[in-house]
């Protein structure tokens, strides 16, 4: 195999180089790869079929994992009476700037305004209050796949939009320990899925008080590092304590006959994950998709002269059928375009493997396989081809993860002084680890000075003994700081 690194090998030229303007590059990829388009409603996007196919595959893997852990799916209304949202004051304050209201329906003014859900704790809490009577009714382990609306001022496709798709799990438990175990279990599950499905390494940890979910007792998150050195919050898991249970009167008769409030959790990931995949693995030629979530894992490109439909296409169709039977998602590009043009299009769309077949290949009973991640090419025998392809897709998935880990490690540094910290935060350096005293004042000043925020504090680490990077008071944790999306 030979690895091609020359820019001439990158066929796609209609994309801004990442090094020139990462933000522009991202938007170019979303547009050119036909993942999404802008809609007539400001801040809302249309997810095009190719982008939605990626979301469906993500959804499929996450949904299967939730069900393995005992969760079931349900659906709750899009509209929430304003009075319900107002029951939990801290929650309302946290979402107030982003809430959209419906004031009229059927040509008449509504007696009570309806909130278009920014999240569903209020409506789900109201229903749980009806459903829970006894400890025997617990736990409730419900997830829903839905859309939510948050009136964002600055939007970017997939990363932050006024309306987006997500899953939101909402559970109710008998004890505080059970709720905490649920919260941590989902955090671990998210971390595993990010690795195995998205090939995206993440840092798992607890958010600071100022960064936690409005109304939560504690918030945990998975944080990924994007190709420009900014962090992305890729998923959150919240221990709600009894805050929402008290607001919505979710009580049960306990085993000792006393009446108690349930302990709650909520957790979610969204279509933001697609943006994370783009920015973790993409290059100057476009998307680089992990095989697990690639709508097409293999594209077959027939190559030949004018009569290729008679000489090459029949064998290409046979190979397609073989791969499909082996469980590979494959497409055959029969368009009457030059092979180079087809190569460029499928490279742009991030298809993990390109299979080229021409008259000479048929004579040799082989095909040419080209990897999207490394651009390595190799001739492979048609005998046992399906097994070889499946094995190579696994190799590509693992290689993408390892490459992302290497990038993160090379863009993570530890500092001990504030001058070091500020110097490190110039530009977009990645993660910077340092001691933090737990003070919101220090956290706020650091953000004002550097634009960096605490992404989270990993659960499996303890302070190194150094003081707070800003005030030198004893540190409560080693915090991971970064500039973020």
pLDDT in tens, 18-44: 999 999 999 999 999 999 999 999 999
Whether residue 3 is predicted with pLDDT greater than 70 in this model: the reply is no
pTM assigned to the model: 0.94
Distance from C-alpha of 325 to C-alpha of 279, rounded to nearest angstrom = 32
pLDDT number for residue 6: 41
Q: Report the chain's terminal Cα–Cα distance, integer Å.
A: 38
What residues have CB less than 8 Å from 144, skipping those under 6 apart? 73, 74, 75, 76, 120, 167, 168, 170
- Which of the four pLDDT bands, split at 50, 70 and 90, describes residue 13? low
- Which of the four pLDDT bands, split at 50, 70 and 90, describes residue 5? very low
Quick check: bond before 156 cis, omega within 30?
Answer: no
Whether residue 305 is predicted with pLDDT greater than 60 in this model: the reply is yes
Strands 263-270 and 353-357: unpaired
- Which of the four pLDDT bands, split at 50, 70 and 90, describes residue 461? confident
Whether 248 and 310 have beta carbons less than 8 Å apart is answered as: no
- Which of the four pLDDT bands, split at 50, 70 and 90, describes residue 11? very low
Alpha-carbon distance values, 351 to 159, 216, 223, 238, 342 (Å): 22, 41, 26, 35, 12
Distance from C-alpha of 267 to C-alpha of 167, rounded to nearest angstrom = 8
- Between CA 300 and CA 8, with CA 343 as vertex, the angle to 5 degrees is 145
pLDDT number for residue 97: 85
Q: Residue 459, CB half-sphere, CA atoms under 13 Å: how many? A: 17
Whether 45 and 169 have beta carbons less than 8 Å apart is answered as: no
What residues have CB less than 8 Å from 308, skipping those under 6 apart? 302, 358
Strand partners, 109: 104
Whether 264 and 169 have beta carbons less than 8 Å apart is answered as: no
Distance from C-alpha of 138 to C-alpha of 175, rounded to nearest angstrom = 10
Question: pLDDT tens digits for 386-430?
Answer: 999 999 999 999 999 999 999 999 999 999 999 999 999 997 789
Question: pLDDT tens digits for 126-162?
Answer: 999 999 999 999 999 999 999 999 998 899 999 999 9
Average pLDDT value over all residues in the chain: 94
Instruction: Find, among 441, 444, 431, 445, the residue nearest to 478 by Cα.
Output: 431
Question: pLDDT tens digits for 340-367?
Answer: 999 999 999 999 999 999 999 999 999 9
């Amino acid at each position: 195999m030979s690895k091609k690194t020359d820019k001439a090998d990158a066929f796609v030229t209609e994309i801004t180089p990442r090094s020139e303007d990462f933000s522009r590059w991202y938007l170019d990829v979303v547009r050119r790869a036909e993942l999404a388009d802008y809609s007539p409603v400001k801040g809302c996007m249309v997810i095009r079929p190719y982008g939605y196919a990626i979301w469906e595959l993500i959804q499929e893997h996450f949904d299967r994992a939730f069900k393995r852990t005992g969760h079931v799916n349900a659906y709750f209304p899009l509209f929430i009476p304003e009075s319900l949202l107002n029951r939990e004051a801290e929650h309302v304050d946290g979402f107030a700037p982003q809430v959209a209201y419906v004031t009229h329906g059927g040509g008449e003014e509504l007696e009570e305004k309806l909130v278009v859900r920014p999240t569903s704790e209020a409506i789900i809490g109201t229903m749980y209050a009806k459903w829970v009577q006894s400890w025997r009714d617990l736990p409730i382990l419900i997830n829903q796949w839905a859309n939510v609306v948050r009136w964002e001022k600055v939007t970017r496709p997939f990363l932050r939009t006024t309306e987006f798709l997500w899953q939101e799990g909402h559970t109710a438990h008998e004890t505080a320990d059970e709720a905490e175990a649920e919260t941590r279990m989902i955090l671990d599950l998210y971390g595993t899925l990010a690795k195995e499905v998205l090939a995206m390494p993440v840092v798992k940890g607890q958010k600071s008080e100022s960064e936690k979910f409005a109304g939560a007792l504690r918030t945990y998150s998975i944080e990924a590092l994007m190709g420009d050195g900014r962090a992305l919050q890729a998923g959150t898991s919240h221990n709600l304590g009894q805050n929402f249970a008290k607001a919505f009167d979710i009580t049960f008769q306990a085993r000792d006959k006393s009446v108690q409030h349930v302990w709650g959790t909520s957790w979610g990931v969204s279509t933001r994950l697609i943006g994370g995949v783009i920015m973790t693995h993409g290059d100057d030629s476009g998307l680089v998709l992990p095989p697990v979530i690639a709508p097409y894992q293999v594209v077959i490109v027939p190559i030949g002269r004018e009569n290729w439909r008679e000489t090459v296409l029949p064998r290409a169709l046979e190979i397609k059928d073989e791969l499909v039977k082996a469980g590979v998602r494959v497409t055959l590009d029969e368009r009457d375009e030059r092979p180079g043009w087809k190569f460029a299009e499928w490279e742009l769309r991030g298809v993990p493997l390109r299979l080229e077949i021409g008259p000479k290949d048929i004579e040799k009973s082989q095909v040419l396989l080209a990897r999207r991640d490394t651009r390595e090419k190799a001739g492979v025998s048609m005998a046992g081809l399906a097994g070889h392809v499946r094995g190579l897709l696994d190799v590509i998935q693992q290689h993408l993860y390892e490459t992302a880990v290497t990038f993160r490690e090379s863009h993570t540094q530890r500092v001990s002084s504030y001058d070091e910290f500020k110097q490190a935060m110039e530009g977009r350096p990645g993660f910077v680890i340092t001691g933090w005293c737990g003070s919101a004042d220090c956290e706020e000043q650091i953000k004002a000075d550097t634009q960096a925020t605490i992404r989270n504090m990993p659960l499996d680490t303890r302070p190194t003994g150094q003081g707070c990077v800003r005030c030198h008071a004893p540190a409560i944790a080693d915090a991971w700081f970064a500039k973020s999306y």
